[in-house]
Amino acid sequence: MTAPQHPQYSLKWTHYSTRGGELEWKESASDFKGQASPPPFLCRWVKFEEKVEEGGERWSKPHVSTLTLHSLFELRTCLQTGSILLDLEGYSLPQIVEDGLIPPDLKEKISFVLLRKHRHQTKKPIHRSLADLGKSSNTLKNKFMKKIPRDAEASNVLIGEVDFLDKPFVSFVRLAQATTLGGLTEVPVPTRFLFILLGPHGKTKSYNEIGRAIATLMVDDLFSDVAYKARDREDLIAGVDEFLDEVIVLPPGEWDPKIRIEPPKKVPSAEMRHLGQMNGSAGGAAGGEDEELPAPHELGEELKFTGRFCGGLWLDIKRKIPWFCSDIYDGFHIQSISAVLFIYLGCITNAITFGGLLGDATDNYQGVMESFLGTALAGTVFCMFGGQPLIILSSTGPILIFEKLLYQFSKDNEIDYMELRLWIGLHSCLQCFVLVVSDASYIIKYMTRFTEEGFSSLISFIFVSDAIKKMVGHYYPINRGFKPDYITAYKCECIAPDQGETSNSLSLYMFCFVMTECDHVHNSHLHLSKKDCVKYGGSLLGNSCKYVPDLALMSFILFFGTYSMTVSLKKFKFSRYFPTKLRTLISDFAIVISILVFCGLDFLLELDIPKLHVPTEIKPTRPDRGWLVMPFGKNSWWWYLASSVPALLVTILIFMDQQISAVIVNRKENKLKKGCGYHLDLFWVGVLMAACSFMGLPWYVAATVISIAHIDSLKMESECSAPGEQPQFLGVREQRLTGILVFVLTGLSIFLAPVLQYIPMPVLYGVFLYMGVASLSGIQFWERIKLYLMPPKHQPDFSFLRHVPLRRVHLFTLVQIICLAVLWILKSTFLAIIFPVMILGLMVVRKLLDLMFSQHDLAWLDDILPDKDKKKKEDEKKKKREKKVAEPESDEEVREN
C-alpha cells in the first residue's frame, strides 16, 4: 500500500470518563455532565499541536508537541499488548466497532462509550472576535478545511477512563479504505486510522500523554509512512523505535515544560531525515551539529560545454520552446501588476538619468529620447525571445564612460562619431555571435560566490550612492542665512514700470488693469505674485525676493519616506494583523502604495519640488541627425576594420556584465524551474547591439539590481499552510509578460507625460535606494561585514561560523572589502572602461585564496566543494545510477511508479 504524499491529519484525541453508567466529560479541573456539556479535552494536529483552551471557546496557537519520554515507552507497550487490526473493511463507526474490534464480554459497555455523540469545538461565545463577525460555524469549518493538505486522511485518537475495566483496552485500527465516519471528525475528512485507549480510573494524565504521543507520531512523515505500509505489529513497533532514535531529550532542570515552543520557520524534509538515518547521523543532529560540508555551489547543466557548433544555443532553444506559451499565461496574476508598475518606474527613472548624462557626454547625439526608445525596443525584444525573460536590460556606467571617451576621440580626430560607433556595434555583434557558437559562456561556471558577491555588491552600492548623490546635489540648499528674529527686515516689493518710458506704456496699462487703481501707479508697491510682476514688466525689489522655501527638507522626507514605507509594507506580510491574503496584497503592492502616498503628500503641499520630466515629442534630441545611421561615406575605409579593436573591449564588457548578472538571477536560491539560456541571451544582446547602432540608440545589457528587484517582486509563497506552518517559498513567477509590459509602457511614456509629470524625483530616487538596499539581502558577504560590529555572543548562528574560526572568516571578508574598495576607486575614474578586466581580477584574487585558506574553509565561505569530496560525490552518484540500472524494480516500486 502506498502512503499519500501529504502529511497525516490527526484530527483530535478525546478523554472520556464514565461513572455509574453516566457519561462524564472532563476538561482541565472542571467537570461537565450531560450531553449538552462542552467538549472534553481536545487536541488536533495537522503538522503542529493545537488544543482547546480552558473554557472550550478557543483553539490555542499551534505549537511543537513536547512529549514525555515515559509516554512514548508506554505507547510502545500499548502497541505490543493491544489489538492491531490492519486493512479492516469498514464504512461506519458502528460497523467498525461491531466487526471484532471489542471483546464479546465488553462489547456492550465499550460500544456505549465509543458510539456516544461526538461534539466539537465549534460553538462560539457571545463576544466573538472581530475576525469572526458574520461568519457561521460552517464558514469557520471551511476556513479550517483550507489549512488541511489536499487528499489528507484523518487519524482519530480516542482516550478515556471507565469504571468497568480492570486493565487498559487498546486497539490500533487501519482501515482498508479511508472512510468519512459521520460526526467523528471536526471537518469532513475521511478517516484511515483509529487508536483507542480505555483504562480504569486513576491514570488520567498518563492516558492523556499516551494519546498526545500517538497523535504526534501520526503526523510525523516517517512514522505515518510506516503506519501505511506496516504488515504486522512488529513493523509498527519498529516505527516507534525509529522515532525514539531521533528524539532529542531536554533536561528537566533547564527547560519549563509549560512553555509552548513556537513552530520553526523551516523543518527538515522526510527525505533529509531518512538520509540522516541511513548515514547514522541522528546522534550528531541531537548534539546540534549539521552536515560535514555544505551543498556545493553549482550552476547547472545550462553551462555545459557541448563541443559542437551552436550546441549550447540549440540546447537553450530546445529548453525554452516548451515553456513559451506558459511564459505568457503565467503572467496573468495580480502580483504581475505590482511588478510591472515597480520595474516600470525604475526603468524610466534610469532611462531619464542615463539619457541626460549621455546627452551631456555626446553633445546630444544621444539623449533622453534615444534612451527611452532604445530601452523600449531592446527590452521588449529581449523579454519576448530571450532565454531568461526575468532579466531587465538597461544601460550601465561603463558603457556611458566608453561613449564619452569615444565621442571625445572622434571630436579630436575629426571622425564622424555616429558612423564609427555603428561599426563598433557591428563588430561587437559579430564577436558576440562567435562567443555564442563556440559555447564560450561555459567559462562562467568557474566563477564562485566570491566573484558573484563582489560584482553584485559593487552594483548595489553604486545604486545606493547614486540615489543619495542625486538627492544631495540636485535640490535647493538649506537656507542657512535666514534669521527668524529679523523677520521684519525681510521684504520683497513689485515696482511698476517707469511712466517716462513709452516702451513700457503697455505694461503700465496692464498694471492698471490688474490693480484697478491707476493713480500714482508708478509709486505704488503692487501686491502681485512674483511671476505676474515679471510678466507685466515690473521689477522685484527686496532682500527676500530670492528666497526659496526650504525644499531640501521636504525632498528628503519624500526620499526616505518612500524607502521606509516600502520596507515596512514589504514586511507587513509577516504581521499578525488582517487576513493572509490582504497582508500579501499589501506586501506585493508596497512600492506602488508608497509612491502614491508620497505623490499625494507632495500634491497637497504644493511645493516646487522637481518632478519627472518626460519628452513629449518623438524626434531625435539633436536636430541635425536622423533615426538611421548610414554605414559609409563619412570616415576613411580603414576605420571600418580598425573599429574591431575597441569593439573587442565592448564585447568583453557586455559578455561579463550580461553573464554574471544572469548567474545571479539564476541562483538556485530562486528555485527557477523553467531553466535559463545563457547562449540565447547573449545572441539577442548581440542582435540588439547591431540594431541600436543602426538607429543611433544606446547599447543595452543586463541590469543586475533592477533584475534582482524584478525577481523579488515576483516571488511566490504557499497560500494555504497548516496551522503553525510558516509560508514556504515556492519559487518565482517565471513568465515574459511583466517584462514585455514594462518596456511597452516605457515606449508609451511619451503619451503618459501629463500623468508622469506629477511624480516628484525624490520619490523615484527613494525607489532606487530601495532597489539597491534590497539587492544586498541574502548576500553572505554583507552578513559577514556586520559580524565585525557584533560581539561573539550576539552573532547569529551561521553555519560557516560553526566550522570556520572567526579570525579566518574576518580575513576572508577583509580580502573582499579590499577588492571592493579597489573596484570602487577604479570605477570612479576613466579606468572604469576596463571594468571587465576588474571582474577577471576578482577571479584571479579568488584563485590566490587557495593559497591562504584550506579547501574546508573555502567550502563553507565560498560554497566550493573540495576536489576530493567532489570526486567522491560524483562516484557515489555513478554507483547509484549503475545500481538502479542493474537492479529490477520491486512489485511495490512498480505500483508506485
533 or 135, higher pLDDT: 533
Residue showing cell 527590452 = 379
Span 880-887, mean pLDDT?
Answer: 49
pLDDT tier, 1 (very low <50, low <70, confident <90, very high otherwise): very low
DSSP letter at 364 equals T
342 or 243, higher pLDDT: 243
Is a pLDDT exceeding 80 seen at residue 391? yes
One-letter amino acid for residue 129 of the chain = S
pLDDT tier, 888 (very low <50, low <70, confident <90, very high otherwise): very low
**Do residues 15 and 118 touch, judged by C-beta distance below 8 A?**
no
Query: Hey, is 548 helix, strand or coil?
Result: coil
Query: Hey, is 731 helix, strand or coil?
Result: strand
For residue 215, which of 69, 48, 465 has the smallest C-alpha distance? 48
Cβ-Cβ contacts under 8 Å for 135 (sequence gap 6 or more): 143
Query: In angstroms, rounded to a whole number, what is the distance separating the alpha carbons of residues 699 and 680?
Result: 18
Is a pLDDT exceeding 70 seen at residue 531? yes
User: Within 13 Å of residue 602, how many CA atoms lie on the same side as its CB?
Assistant: 30
Q: What is the pLDDT of residue 441?
A: 83
The per-residue pLDDT for range 374-384, each reduced to its tens digit, is 889 999 999 99
Q: What is the pLDDT of residue 278?
A: 57
Q: Of the spans 503-517, 657-671, 820-834, which averages the highest pLDDT?
A: 657-671
Residue showing cell 561560523 = 801
Query: In angstroms, rounded to a whole number, what is the distance separating the alpha carbons of residues 568 and 590?
Result: 8
Span 758-762, mean pLDDT?
Answer: 83
Span 152-171, mean pLDDT?
Answer: 84
Query: In angstroms, rounded to a whole number, what is the distance separating the alpha carbons of residues 864 and 866?
Result: 6
pLDDT tier, 26 (very low <50, low <70, confident <90, very high otherwise): very low
Residue showing cell 500579501 = 584
The residues pairing with 541 across neighbouring beta strands, listed in sequence order, are 493
Q: What is the pLDDT of residue 273?
A: 67
Span 633-653, mean pLDDT?
Answer: 85
**Do residues 819 and 796 touch, judged by C-beta distance below 8 A?**
no
Query: In angstroms, rounded to a whole number, what is the distance separating the alpha carbons of residues 653 and 836?
Result: 5
The per-residue pLDDT for range 559-588, each reduced to its tens digit, is 899 889 988 888 887 787 887 778 878 887
Span 842-848, mean pLDDT?
Answer: 82
Strand order in the sheet with 493-495: 525-526, 493-495, 539-541
Among 42-51, 112-121, 301-310, 486-495, which is the least confidently predicted range?
112-121
Q: What is the pLDDT of residue 509?
A: 47
User: What is the SS3 assignment for 641-693?
Assistant: HHCHHHHHHHHHHHHHHHHHHHHHHCCHHHCCCCCCCHHHHHHHHHHHHHHHH
Span 11-17, mean pLDDT?
Answer: 46
Q: Of the spans 290-304, 457-471, 738-752, 860-874, which averages the highest pLDDT?
A: 738-752
Is a pLDDT exceeding 80 seen at residue 291? no
pLDDT tier, 294 (very low <50, low <70, confident <90, very high otherwise): low
Span 290-300, mean pLDDT?
Answer: 59
314 or 137, higher pLDDT: 314
pLDDT tier, 160 (very low <50, low <70, confident <90, very high otherwise): confident
**Do residues 75 and 209 touch, judged by C-beta distance below 8 A?**
no
DSSP letter at 99 equals I
Query: In angstroms, rounded to a whole number, what is the distance separating the alpha carbons of residues 887 and 877?
Result: 15
Beta strands in 273-353 (DSSP E): none
**Do residues 684 and 386 touch, judged by C-beta distance below 8 A?**
yes
Q: What is the pLDDT of residue 866?
A: 40
In the chain, the domains with their CATH numbers are: 10-26+40-121+148-265 (3.40.930.10), 327-464+609-718+728-760 (no CATH), 779-869 (no CATH)
Give me the chain's average pLDDT, please: 76
The per-residue pLDDT for range 397-411, each reduced to its tens digit, is 778 778 888 888 888
**Do residues 227 and 239 touch, judged by C-beta distance below 8 A?**
yes
pLDDT tier, 266 (very low <50, low <70, confident <90, very high otherwise): confident
One-letter amino acid for residue 653 of the chain = L
**Do residues 456 and 775 touch, judged by C-beta distance below 8 A?**
yes
One-letter amino acid for residue 625 of the chain = R
The per-residue pLDDT for range 446-458, each reduced to its tens digit, is 777 788 788 778 8
Give ∠ CA 149-153-155 in degrees, rounded to 5.
120
| CB-neighbour burial class of residue 105 (10 A; exposed 0-12, middle 13-18, buried 19+) | exposed
User: Within 13 Å of residue 839, how many CA atoms lie on the same side as its CB?
Assistant: 27
Give the number of other CB atoms < 10 A from CB of residue 712: 18
The DSSP line for 389-406 is TT--EE--HHHHHHHHHH
% pLDDT > 70, the chain: 77
Q: What is the pLDDT of residue 30?
A: 26
pLDDT tier, 240 (very low <50, low <70, confident <90, very high otherwise): very high
Query: In angstroms, rounded to a whole number, what is the distance separating the alpha carbons of residues 659 and 712?
Result: 19
Q: Of the spans 186-190, 377-381, 730-734, which averages the highest pLDDT?
A: 377-381
Cell of 808: 579566518
Q: State residue 611 phi and psi, 5-degree precision.
A: -110, 165
Q: What is the pLDDT of residue 38?
A: 37
877 or 545, higher pLDDT: 545
| CB-neighbour burial class of residue 54 (10 A; exposed 0-12, middle 13-18, buried 19+) | exposed
The per-residue pLDDT for range 31-49, each reduced to its tens digit, is 322 333 334 567 888 888 8
Is a pLDDT exceeding 70 seen at residue 167? yes
Q: Are strands 154-161 and 9-19 parallel, antiparallel or unpaired?
A: parallel
Q: Are strands 715-717 and 729-732 parallel, antiparallel or unpaired?
A: antiparallel
Among 326-340, 471-485, 670-684, 764-778, which is the least confidently predicted range?
471-485
pLDDT tier, 141 (very low <50, low <70, confident <90, very high otherwise): low
The per-residue pLDDT for range 425-469, each reduced to its tens digit, is 999 999 999 999 888 888 877 777 788 788 778 888 887 887 888
Query: In angstroms, rounded to a whole number, what is the distance separating the alpha carbons of residues 658 and 654?
Result: 6
The per-residue pLDDT for range 801-811, each reduced to its tens digit, is 888 888 888 99
Among 198-212, 319-333, 543-557, 804-818, which is the least confidently predicted range?
543-557
Query: In angstroms, rounded to a whole number, what is the distance separating the alpha carbons of residues 649 and 431?
Result: 11
pLDDT tier, 740 (very low <50, low <70, confident <90, very high otherwise): very high
The per-residue pLDDT for range 859-871, each reduced to its tens digit, is 888 865 444 444 4
pTM: 0.71
Is a pLDDT exceeding 60 seen at residue 60? yes
Q: What is the pLDDT of residue 238?
A: 92
